[in-house]
Amino acid sequence: MQQWVHLNGQLVPKSEATLSIYDHGFLYGDGAFEGIRVYNRVIFQLEPHVRRLFRSAHALSIDLKTGPEQIQAAIVETVRANQLDSGYIRVSVSRGVGLGLDPAHLKSEPTVVISTEQLRLYTPEMYERGLDVITASTRVPPSVCIDPQIKSLGRYVNNIMAKMEANRVGAGEALMLNMDGYVAEATGDNLFLVQGGELITPPPSQGALPGITRQVVMDIAKETGIPCRQSVVTLYDVYNADEAFLTGTAAEVIAMVTCDGRRIGDGMPGPVTRRLIDAFREKTRTAGVPV
Ligand SMILES: Cc1ncc(COP(=O)(O)O)c(C=O)c1O
């Protein structure tokens, strides 16, 4: 079946969706993006994702020349065109096209690309068993240099380096520390610990992206009476947590059962994690924007 890509305001066949070699996203990582999921023809958390995209663009001083409603409509249109029942939507924006880093040299409006794919990060067995995770030597950049609240293209070179560290040793994910040695997040996911019945997750000030899935889990925790707080997290806290799990649009909610060779809790997805995974899956079945 013909696949379509929304490129700068128009649906074009995927084979014709090409970008300039001088696109600032390609040249300098000068842009932002979102990854969004569709479950059974319902787009999950569409508004929060689009809101974060506009905040990222605003912080980067990229004027998208369009509004959130138009981008949302374009996302819906792309999902419909590709008859995507369940899958992944990628929305990428860049400052535009022009050689030289000075934005004064740009010769175009910002680039906006919306595409859809099938994406499965982990096997069903990994969701059942939980992930073995390592700590990467690659750090997240200090929040005062690149704010982690901006889901910027350029920031991800570090996350890719960290992911390669995990791949090299056959780990499912890598935790990334900030320059003070506190745990920020994983390469494409947020971290939660369960300790004494309470959820703990690092705040954006420690280098964590304010994840949409993280917020969904925090909302579920509130609805179901599980206390949750944002706090500085050390590796000691991770190793000694009762349970730990990761959240992200791509990864969804997945238990983390070892870290750096230390068993977390009893080395299996714990009861709180399992409850939250079930509640998260239930939300993906019941909440969102239909297409
Ligand atoms: C670095 C990083 N942290 C956390 C997340 C999880 O965020 P979300 O739940 O919004 O996908 C992502 C994925 O977008 C990410 O790239």
Taking only the tens place, the pLDDT of each residue in 227-253 is 999 999 999 999 999 999 999 999 999
145 is a domain residue: yes
| Pocket flag, ligand 1, residue 237 (CB < 6 Å) | no
Residue 249 alpha carbon, nearest atom of ligand 1: 11
Atom of ligand 1 nearest to the CA of 52: 10
Residue 194 lies inside a defined structural domain of this protein: yes
Task: Tell me how far apart the alpha carbons of residues 291 and 281 are, in angstroms, rounded to a whole number.
Answer: 19
291 falls within a domain: no
Partnered with residue 134 across adjacent β-strands are 174
Predicted confidence at residue 236, as pLDDT, reads 98
CA 249 to ligand 1 center in whole angstroms: 7
Kindly report the length of the chain. 291
Crossing angle of helices 46-59/68-81, nearest 10°? 130
- Strand 31-39 relative to strand 10-13: parallel, antiparallel, unpaired? unpaired
pTM of the predicted protein model: 0.96
**How many Cα atoms are found within 13 Å in the side-chain-facing hemisphere of 26?**
13
Res 9 pLDDT > 90: yes
* Assigned token pair, 146: 């690149």
The pLDDT value recorded for residue 120 is 86
Number of domains in the chain: 2
Residue 43 above 90 pLDDT? yes
Per-residue pLDDT tens over the stretch 259-287: 999 999 999 999 999 999 999 999 998 88
Query: What pLDDT does 287 receive?
Result: 81
Instruction: Report residue 32 as tokens.
Output: 């932002």
**Cα(68) to centroid(ligand 1), Å:** 20
pLDDT at residue 289 tops 90: no
Tell me, using a 6 A CB cutoff, whether residue 188 lines ligand 1.
yes
How far away, in angstroms, is 105 Cα from ligand 1 center? Answer: 32
> What is the CA(286)–ligand 1 centre distance, in A?
22
- The whole-chain average pLDDT of the chain stands at 96
* pLDDT value for 113: 98
Report the C-alpha gap between 207 and 146 in whole angstroms.
Answer: 9
Of ligand 1's atoms, which has the minimum distance to the CA of residue 159?
1
The per-residue pLDDT for 108 is 85
Going by C-alpha positions, the residue among 235, 190, 234 that lies closest to residue 212 is 190
Alpha helices in the chain (DSSP H): 24-28, 46-59, 68-81, 124-129, 156-168, 212-223, 235-239, 271-286
Q: Which bin fits 83, alpha (ψ -120 to 50), beta or left (φ > 0)?
A: left
Examine the domain organization and report whether 132 and 49 are in the same domain.
no
Contact 44, 36 (CB under 8 A): yes
131 plus 274 within the same structural domain: yes
Are 100 and 129 part of one and the same domain? no
CA of 248 to the centre of ligand 1 (A): 5
Q: What is the tens place of the pLDDT at every residue in 159-179?
A: 999 999 999 999 999 999 999
- For residue 206, give the DSSP letter: G
Which atom of ligand 1 sits closest to the CA of residue 155? 1
Q: Is 278 helix (H, G, I), strand (E, B) or coil?
A: helix
Query: Do 133 and 113 share a domain, yes or no?
Result: no
pLDDT band at residue 134 using 50, 70 and 90 as cut-offs: very high
- Token look-up 């994840």 returns 211
pLDDT of 126 strictly over 90: yes
Q: Is the CB of 159 under 6 A from ligand 1?
A: yes
- Would you say residue 288 has pLDDT above 90? no
Which domain, by its residues, includes 47?
Answer: 4-117
CATH number of the domain within which 212 lies? 3.20.10.10
* 47-98 tens-digit pLDDT: 999 999 999 999 999 999 999 999 999 999 999 999 999 999 999 999 999 9
Contact 193, 200 (CB under 8 A): yes
